[in-house]
Structure 1
Amino acid sequence: MNAIQPSDPSLKPQDPRRVARKRSKRRRHPYRATAIHTTVKLVVNLLLLVTAGSAIAKLLPYYLSQQQKLHEIQAEVQSAEERIERLRADFNRYFDPQQAKSVMQEQSNRFEPGQRPLILQK
Structure 2
Amino acid sequence: MFHILCTLLAILIVTLAHAAPQTSPTIVPQIRTNGFQLEPLNQEYFLRIEHPAGTIRQESVKQDEAGHLQVNGVINQPFEDQGANLILTYEAGPNGYVAKYSFGKGPPTPPPETPLFLSPSALKTAAG
Shorter-chain TM-score range: under 0.3
Structure holding more helix per residue: 1
Bigger CA radius of gyration? 1
Highest RCO, 1 vs 2 (Cα 8 Å, sep ≥ 6): 2
Structure holding more strand per residue: 2
TM (norm. structure 1) is 0.21
TM (norm. structure 2) is 0.20
